[in-house]
């Protein structure tokens, strides 16, 4: 199979879909791998490493895409990239189509098979290709929050961990999944006061047992969220509905009740965000202020630590790539995990949550 690894063109996105070690495994199996010039450079993998792994370096991204059977990338394609896809190709990447009808329509028109990392489920119902990037994003959310709390960046000037005789920051985490757990872990490690809010009592019990009461746990309701954010210095948005738009958990009225200089970090922004006032930002311009509250809504947080993120993502994605290269018809249609990732196939939407979010017709795969 002819496999293409494009250079990510989203603002300050430095990850690359596969490491040279993974490429070497594919080329030794007899597949042809082409990679766009300098695609892995910012992640610490230069072109020479890919050449040594058996890959071909391509200068022109349009040529790279045109010659491929399978295109593997990290972030969703940009509009001009989506336009070059055609019906004999497959695309494997994060797509987040529930919040982008324009991209969904382009992919539908292409006739290509489009498989989303974020909706692949394993035999346990987990989301294995979301987990590594959720771990990164959850941990980095606390780093970002600490930075944004500084007065020079619009924050209240509160130190996350406090210090002798001075209270620590109050960090509220909305969602107790992978992002939420990792954000809470980092905040606790820095000495912050942490409250985790979620609707799953079973999950809250797990975290109670894990941290032995070091973090408070609360059942999620409008009242509990509204009460906690009034005293929060940091709120981490970590709610997720697989394939669907994120629920709005913090509204404008709650925002107005918060202390000026507090920080919102919306890790769910890829799926539309879980704060009413959220809008996507970039690593170049990561924040904006609404009603005195700093909003950090970067849609590719893991891209800032490209080397670690690339290695973690490739570790998780390579088994699925190895299934894909055996043949799309056999593996996509029969291998359950890959089937759950197919969002677009032959001009039809095959992901129910995406179809519902975009009000388009759904066709079972």
* Residues that are catalytic: 96, 270
CB 279 within 8 A of CB 115: no
Provide the token pair at 64.
């790279």
d(CA 240, CA 175): 8
Provide the 10 A C-beta neighbour count for residue 348: 15
45: CB partners within 8 A, 6+ apart? 16, 19, 20, 310
Beta strands (DSSP E) in 212-269 are 216-219, 234-237, 263-266
Q: Which residues lie below 8 Å from residue 91, measured CB to CB, with a gap of 6+?
A: 70, 71, 73, 77, 85, 107, 112, 113, 114, 115
Integer Cα distance of 349 and 345 in angstroms: 7
């Amino acid at each position: 199979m002819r496999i293409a690894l494009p250079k990510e063109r989203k603002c300050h996105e430095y990850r690359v879909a596969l490491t040279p070690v993974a490429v070497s495994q594919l080329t030794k199996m007899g597949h042809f791998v082409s990679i766009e010039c300098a695609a892995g450079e910012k992640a610490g993998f230069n072109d020479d490493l890919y050449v040594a792994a058996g890959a071909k370096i391509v200068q022109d991204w349009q040529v790279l895409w045109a010659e491929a059977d399978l295109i593997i990338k990290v972030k969703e394609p940009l509009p001009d990239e989506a336009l070059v896809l055609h019906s004999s190709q497959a695309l494997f990447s994060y797509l987040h189509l529930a919040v982008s009808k324009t991209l969904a329509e382009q992919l539908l028109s292409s006739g290509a098979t489009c498989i989303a990392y974020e909706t692949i489920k394993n035999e346990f119902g987990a989301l294995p290709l979301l987990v590594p990037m959720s771990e990164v994003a959850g941990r980095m959310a606390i780093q970002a929050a600490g930075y944004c709390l500084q007065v020079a960046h619009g924050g209240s000037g509160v130190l996350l961990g406090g210090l002798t005789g001075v209270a620590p920051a109050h960090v509220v985490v909305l969602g107790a999944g992978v992002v939420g757990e990792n954000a809470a872990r980092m905040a606790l490690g820095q000495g912050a006061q942490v409250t985790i809010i979620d609707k799953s009592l079973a999950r809250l019990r797990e975290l109670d047992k894990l941290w032995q009461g070091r973090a408070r746990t609360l059942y999620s309701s409008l009242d509990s969220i509204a009460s906690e954010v009034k005293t929060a210095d940091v709120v981490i948005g970590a709610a997720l509905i697989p394939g669907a738009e994120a629920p709005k958990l913090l509204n404008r009225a709650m925002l107005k009740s918060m202390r000026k200089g507090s920080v919102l970090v919306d890790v769910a922004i890829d799926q539309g965000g879980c704060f009413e006032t959220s809008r996507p930002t970039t690593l170049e311009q990561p924040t904006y202020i609404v009603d005195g509250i700093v909003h950090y809504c970067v849609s590719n947080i893991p891209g800032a630590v490209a080397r670690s993120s690339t290695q973690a993502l490739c570790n998780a994605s390579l088994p699925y790539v190895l299934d894909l290269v055996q043949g799309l018809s056999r593996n996509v249609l029969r291998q359950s995990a890959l089937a759950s990732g197919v969002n677009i196939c032959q001009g039809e939407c095959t992901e129910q949550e995406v179809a519902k979010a975009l009000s388009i017709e759904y066709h079972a795969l």
